[in-house]
Amino acid sequence: MNHLPSPTSPQHTFDVLIIGSGLAGLSAALHLAPTHRVAVLTKRTLSDGASGWAQGGIAAVLAEGDTFDAHVNDTLVAGAGLCDLAVTRAVIEGAPHAIAWLRGLGVPFTLEGEQLHLTREGGHGARRIAHVADATGAAVQRTLIDVVRSAPGITLFEHHTLVDVITAHKLGLPGQRCLGLYALDEVTDEVLTFRAPQTILATGGAGKVYLYTTNPDTATGDGIAAAWRAGCRVANLEFIQFHPTCLYHPHAKSYLISEAVRGEGGQLKLPDGTRFMPQHDARAELAPRDVVARAIDYEMKKHGLDCVHLDISHQSPAFLHEHFPNILARCAELGIDITKEPIPVVPAAHYTCGGVLTDLAGRTDLPGLFAIGETACTGLHGANRLASNSLLECMVFARAAAQAIAAAPATPVPDLPRWDNSRVTDADESVVISHNWDELRRFMWDYVGIVRTNKRLERAAHRITLLQAEIQEFYANFHVTRDLLELRNLVQVAELIVRSAQLRRESRGLHFSRDYPELAAPAAPTILVPPVA
């Protein structure tokens, strides 16, 4: 690599660096701001992450008759034997506090009388989803962004893309520690140096590695790839959750039809009106997402369909306007009246259940580096995430990481080398990046999707090797751009997903292999260890 230290580019010093501005990152920033100088870096604007897209809500035991044990059990069942029990219990028992914290910040949760209205989603045995109509993530994000923008102690860096974290080992210094990071400022087109004793990766998942996804364009696995390059283990990356119901329409990019539509009685049907889920699972439409996604995939392949239909038209228009105003309005814009006709839907990559391996406080293998939210693999989700546990995990681990950082002894950070562009040039063939991006997402969808085989995984691995060589040549010789950095990260995460899938010789949760259709014992996570640099 020809990017070498230079004394010219700026350096920023903080107590804590947070990369990512979703619920995990902003929550951590607010917990730390009273006592620490915090920088929040986000590669677009504060509102462009995946958290704002979450429709369903936040799972929490709040209703009379519901129990922590019941929520734990539902999570364990969905996770297909791979959830960490201690982590699961800690997250679920932290849910009421997390909801109370959000209400204290002013999040306008939907009420029923004086109490929170709780809806139900697939895999849950009770109503325990606190929500803001059908746009919970957006409401939570708006509230947090308003608070963060006015909070002393937090400096915001929008349009700053993570290039890599900086480690003592890479600089030839004694010890193994994260010292900061390099980030591309897209406004000035300059790579800046940020140093801090503590860094939190809250960069979200990697849904954009697939052709069809419910994720925003920012979901390119940046934190997972950077942590891997820094020497951190990753776990369970074969478990990519495909949401069963993404709106199928040429003008509806990545629009999710919430789990709650099925929770409130929506039925999945073939084009002729035949309901099919009862033939696949006794829980029908309320089965966990992996079961429903495979059932839809099966019916689409069997009948040669482009989509199936989700019908909630038996509910009254008043009910739909109250509970699903945004879904109703978006469908209406596209000429679909959900009060009278079904919604065309297809599965799409939705959530990265694996990620950077952490402990109960979000610590990674590298001292000074934390990972929280979808970037992390905490042990909560196992082989399949239970609906509406993701926003909950973001908040519980943001608080835990902030507490761990607050309790950590002060650690001095040396002056760091600046980024050097003196030996690189402008790329003359940027079209290579867009072609590689398209090729990667297509073969990942075809070969590493809802149903996998050994042969498909081998084909994907071969193509990834070729792409990595091309992308590394670009990275070594040309000025970095956000497109190049995202592609570099996506192809790295794609390799880790394929390697993890090849190691799992069974079908469990979200990983379904035609070559290994049965469960194997004992249940064990897939952990990848990076090569020693």
Give yes or no: residues 31 and 165 share one domain.
Answer: yes
Tell me whether residue 289 is one of the annotated catalytic residues: yes
pLDDT number for residue 460: 98
Strand 16-19 relative to strand 198-201: parallel, antiparallel, unpaired?
parallel
Closest CA to 483 of 447, 446, 528, 432: 432
Under DSSP, the state recorded for 419 is: P
Please name the helix (run of DSSP H) or strand (run of DSSP E) that holds residue 490, with its range, or none: helix 482-503
Q: What integer pLDDT is reported at residue 533 of this predicted model?
A: 54
Measured CA to CA, the distance from residue 210 to residue 207 in angstroms comes to: 6
List, edge to edge, every strand of the sheet that includes 16-19. Answer: 154-158, 38-42, 16-19, 198-201, 369-371
Tell me the C-alpha distance between 432 and 470, whole Å: 9
Q: Quick one: CA dihedral 165, 142, 204, 160, positive or negative?
A: negative
CA distances (Å), 479 to each of 2, 42, 222, 266, 331, in order? 10, 20, 18, 50, 42
Token digits of residue 415: 């002056």
Residue 195 φ then ψ, to 5° = -125, 145
Digit-coded pLDDT (tens) for 495-513: 999 999 999 999 999 999 9
Using the Cα atoms of residue 81, residue 82, residue 84 and residue 89 in order, give the sign of their dihedral: negative
Burial class (CB in 10 A: 0-12, 13-18, 19+), 23: buried
Check whether residue 443 and residue 333 sit in a common domain. no
* Same domain membership, residue 491 and residue 479: yes
Determine, yes or no, domain membership for 419. Answer: no
Question: Contact at 8 Å (CB) between 98 and 61?
Answer: no
Residues 222 and 316 in one domain: no
* R_g of the chain computed on alpha carbons: 22
The reply to whether 44 and 161 lie within a common domain is yes
- Shared domain for 160 and 177, answered yes or no, is yes
Residues in Cβ contact with 470 at an 8 Å cutoff, skipping those fewer than 6 apart: 432, 436
Q: Which ranges of 33-112 does DSSP label H, i.e. alpha helix?
A: 68-78, 85-93, 95-105
pTM of the model: 0.90
Q: What is the pLDDT of residue 351?
A: 93
Residue 420 resides in a domain: no
Q: Is residue 417 part of a domain?
A: no
Structurally, how many domains does the chain consist of? Answer: 3
Q: Cβ distance 484 to 216 under 8 Å?
A: no
Tell me, yes or no, whether 116 lies in a domain.
yes
Q: What is the pLDDT along the chain (533 residues), one digit of tens a residue?
A: 334 344 445 689 999 999 999 999 999 999 999 999 999 999 999 988 877 777 779 999 999 999 999 999 999 999 999 999 999 999 999 999 999 999 999 999 999 998 999 998 888 999 999 999 888 989 999 999 999 999 999 999 999 999 999 999 999 998 899 999 999 999 999 999 999 999 999 999 999 999 889 888 999 999 999 999 999 999 999 999 998 999 999 888 778 898 889 999 999 999 999 999 999 999 999 988 878 988 998 898 889 898 999 999 999 999 999 999 999 999 999 999 999 999 999 999 999 999 999 999 999 999 999 999 999 999 999 999 998 999 999 999 999 999 999 999 989 999 999 998 877 777 766 788 889 999 999 899 889 999 999 999 999 999 999 999 999 988 988 899 999 999 999 999 999 999 999 999 999 999 999 999 999 999 999 999 999 75
Angle between helices 95-105 and 85-93 (to 10 degrees): 40
Q: Are residues 454 and 360 in the same domain?
A: no
Token code pair at residue 241: 């959750």
**Three-state DSSP class for 31?**
helix
Taking a C-beta distance cutoff of 8 angstroms, is the pair 107, 130 a contact?
no
Same domain (yes/no): 364, 504: no
Residue 6 · residue 419 · CB < 8 Å: yes
Q: For residues 439-476, b (16+ Cβ closer than 10 Å) or e, as one string?
A: ebbebbbebbbbebeeebbebbbebbeebbeebeebbe
Strand duo 11-13 + 111-112: pairing: unpaired
**17 CA to centre of own chain:** 19
CATH number at residue 446: 1.20.58.100
Q: Which residues share a beta bridge with 346? A: 246
Q: Is residue 426 part of a domain?
A: no
Same domain, 120 and 191: yes
- Rounded Cα gap, residues 443 and 461, in angstroms: 10
pLDDT of the residue at 422? 75
Q: Tokens standing for 69?
A: 């044990």
Residue 51 near residue 218, CB atoms below 8 Å: no
Task: List the one residue out of 94, 43, 363, 55 whose CA is nearest residue 233.
Answer: 363
- Report the pLDDT value the prediction gives residue 123, as an integer from 0 to 100: 86
What DSSP designation does 437 have? H
Residue of 368, 513, 358 whose CA lies nearest to 447: 513
Query: Amino acid identity of 382?
Result: G
Q: Give the contacts of 146 (CB within 8 A, at least 6 positions apart).
A: none
Query: Is residue 40 assigned to a domain?
Result: yes
Confirm whether 25 is domain-assigned.
yes
Read off the DSSP letter of residue 381.
S
Of the residues 311, 330, 349, which one is the last residue of a structural domain? 349
From the candidates 195, 262, 289, 294, give the one annotated as an active-site residue: 289
Q: Across the strands, what pairs with 167?
A: 178
The CATH number assigned to the domain holding 75 equals 3.50.50.60
Q: Which domain holds residue 110?
A: 12-238+353-407
Residue 268 lies in a domain: yes
Residues 390 and 450 occupy one common structural domain: no
Same domain, 234 and 111: yes
In 3D, which of 520, 181, 498 has the Cα closest to residue 366?
181
The domain spanning residue 251 has which CATH number? Answer: 3.90.700.10
Pairing relationship of beta strands 38-42 and 376-377 according to DSSP bridges: unpaired
Residues 344 and 364 in one domain: no
